[in-house]
Chains A and B, each alone.
Chain A
Amino acid sequence: QKEVEQNSGPLSVPEGAIASLNCTYSDRVSQSFFWYRQYSGKSPELIMSIYSNGDKEDGRFTAQLNKASQYVSLLIRDSQPSDSATYLCAVTAFSGYSTLTFGKGTMLLVSP
């Protein structure tokens, strides 16, 4: 049974701070890792994808992957109130076809 674990939160940070969101996964053959942002009542929006160990930066967002530790994280620099949302970690393992396994999501609250 593939599992993706996230702290449900809420994670509260002040405006301008760095928010750190963490995710662990159980399936060692997992190959692709995604972070989606979901505002209340809206659909998931892709923020970042990462496939190899190390860091990947895109604007204020940095995804970090450590396959040996089965750990993926998302850092949000200079957090803004508009970043307040639920962040879903999703993992997939290619085996002829791929399906996403989602974590339960971490709610982030950025206070002005």
Chain B
Amino acid sequence: DTEVTQTPKHLVMGMTNKKSLKCEQHMGHRAMYWYKQKAKKPPELMFVYSYEKLSINESVPSRFSPECPNSSLLNLHLHALQPEDSALYLCASSQDRSTDTQYFGPGTRLTVL
């Protein structure tokens, strides 16, 4: 089973709202990733967690705050977003950081008004 789940599927929020995206995997993977994807562009890496520790932050603005409560869960907390942050947010996981094969969740379609 290579399933990564994400909630919610769709999210509409105002620029003053605080919301969270959730990602879960039960494959025993120890590396988890957040990507942002704009229309007709490839996914852009935002954060990498390895063994529940943040190992890569690709210079993402502080209005995006990742959290890894345990090895199966990954959250992305959103606050004071801008309309240009509207995108598809993808979570992925891999066995660990040295293993390349990443499996993506279905994504959360975020619209910031």
- Same complex for A and B? Answer yes
Q: How many interface residues does B have (CB within 8 Å)? A: 23
Contact A100 B102 (CB under 8 A): yes
Interchain CB contact under 8 A, B100 and A94: yes
Interface of A is mostly: loop
A44 and B48 form a contact (CB under 8 A): no
Task: Name B's interface SS.
Answer: loop
**Interface digits, A97-108 against B, CB 8 Å rule (1 contact, 0 not)?**
111101111000
Q: Kindly state the separation between the CA atoms of A40 and B2 in the bound complex, as whole angstroms.
A: 21
Q: Which residues of B contact A92 (CB under 8 A)?
A: 100
Contact of A43 among B41, B55, B100, B104 (CB under 8 A): B104
Within 8 Å of chain A (Cβ to Cβ): is B76?
no
Asked if A43 contacts B56 (CB within 8 A), the reply is no
B66: interface (CB < 8 Å)? no
By a beta-carbon cutoff of 8 Å, the part of chain B in contact with chain A is 2, 41-43, 45, 48, 50, 55-56, 88, 90, 97-107, 109
Residues of A within 8 A of B (CB): 31-32, 34, 36, 41-46, 49, 88, 92, 94, 96-100, 102-105
Identify which of A41, A44, A49, A104 contacts B104 (C-beta below 8 A): A44
Are B48 and A42 touching (Cβ within 8 A)? Answer: no
Given contacts A97-B98, A98-B100, A99-B45, 14 further A-B contacts (CB under 8 A): A32-B100, A36-B104, A42-B106, A43-B106, A45-B104, A46-B103, A88-B42, A98-B99, A100-B45, A100-B100, A102-B42, A102-B43, A103-B42, A104-B42
